[in-house]
Amino acid sequence: MIIRGEVCVGCGRCQPYCPAGAIHFSGLKSEVDRETCLECGTCLRVAICPVDAIMDDPTAFEYPRAVRKVFSDPTAPHIATGIEGRGTEESKTNDVTGRVGPDSVGVAIEVGRPTLGMGLPDVQKISRALARAGITEIEPCNPIHQMYADESTGDLRADLMGERVLSAIIELEVKKDRLPHILRVLKEVAKEVDSVFTLDVYSLLGPDLEISKEVLAALDSEGFPWRPNAKINVGLGRAWEERRAS
Ligand code: SF4
Ligand code: SF4
């Protein structure tokens, strides 16, 4: 994002809206720190500037800087998925897509948060740790998948290592019995990650709407406190109907 210095009147109203703390006074005007700015677009969208001094940086749409925008601006559709946001549609609509079946578990590692953001080397630390442990089942529809230089090593493309984003999600789908292994890897790599990450584990409910005992046992045994969340979408059951019919 850019603040046109010749227009800005230095009122400072835009500064508290920046989730990255990238807008500062420079003399009597406000200025965007290019390195810290995540191109999330919040300062522009809130339309707080009384003189329209805030404008998109034209380079925000050029690779590799464009990665900041697609992972940080919730209104920017991602080229890989065609959906707005950092994850895949499938993980949120599993009852329709049936991507994670009864024997599997989905794992989403959400790296970074507003006010913190994160550098993409943090994603690489996690993807490398997973790859070293033999876990390379990265969801192909996930935007992160496009960033890989080598899935077998977890290396991301070198030209992305200077970029920062608000957050990004690494998504995996594995058999349930591999979950404890993944949790142990994440506990170890957490010591190296500079930002923060949260962990989502998702699976189908059982016939009596119970959460998988295997999944809960894995979380408990590895010391991960869990909080249940349910999400039900219109279209419930379609995937199972289609599977049964095929
Ligand atoms: S685009 Fe986002 S990160 Fe950049 S200055 Fe505006 S609010 Fe801050
Ligand atoms: S709101 Fe507009 S005029 Fe006020 S400091 Fe920000 S850019 Fe400058």
Residues 57 and 91 in one domain: no
CA 49 – CA 42 distance, rounded (Å): 12
Please tell me the residue having the least CA distance from ligand 1 atom 6. 43
* Domain-located, residue 68: no
* Domain-located, residue 102: yes
Predicted confidence at residue 117, as pLDDT, reads 84
Residues 143 and 22 in one domain: no
> Residue 52 sits in a domain of what CATH number?
3.30.70.20
Residues 17 and 110 in one domain: no
CA 53 – CA 87 distance, rounded (Å): 32
Question: Count of domains in the chain?
Answer: 2
CA 143 – CA 127 distance, rounded (Å): 14
* Domain-located, residue 101: yes
Residues 120 and 214 in one domain: yes
Residues 31 and 91 in one domain: no
Please give the chain's pLDDT, 246 residues, in tens: 999 999 999 999 999 999 999 999 999 999 999 999 999 999 999 999 999 999 999 999 899 999 999 889 887 766 554 555 555 655 667 767 777 888 999 999 999 987 778 999 999 999 999 999 999 878 777 788 888 999 899 999 999 999 999 988 899 889 999 999 999 999 999 999 999 999 999 888 888 888 999 999 999 999 999 998 877 666 555 655 566 566
> Residue 103 sits in a domain of what CATH number?
3.30.70.120
Per the structure, the complete domain to which residue 103 belongs is given by 86-224
* Domain-located, residue 66: no
Please tell me the residue having the least CA distance from ligand 1 atom 7. 18
Angle in degrees, CA 40, 93, 183, rounded to 5: 80
Task: State both tokens at 143.
Answer: 């935007």
66 CB within 6 A, ligand 2:
no
Residues 175 and 211 in one domain: yes
* Domain-located, residue 234: no
Taking the CA of residue 48 as reference, the ligand 2 atom at the shortest distance is 1
* Domain-located, residue 230: no
* Domain-located, residue 211: yes
pTM of the model: 0.84
Residues 99 and 50 in one domain: no
Determine how many CB atoms are found less than 10 A away from the CB of residue 147: 22
Residues 48 and 104 in one domain: no
Helix (H) or strand (E) holding 130: helix 120-132
CA 126 – CA 193 distance, rounded (Å): 8
* Domain-located, residue 235: no
Residues 97 and 55 in one domain: no
Residues 25 and 110 in one domain: no
Determine how many CB atoms are found less than 10 A away from the CB of residue 6: 6
CA 61 – CA 203 distance, rounded (Å): 36
Residues 19 and 98 in one domain: no
Which amino acids bring their CB within 6 angstroms of ligand 1? 1, 17-18, 20, 22-23, 32, 37-43
Residues 35 and 135 in one domain: no
Half-sphere exposure of 75 (CA within 13 A, CB side): 7
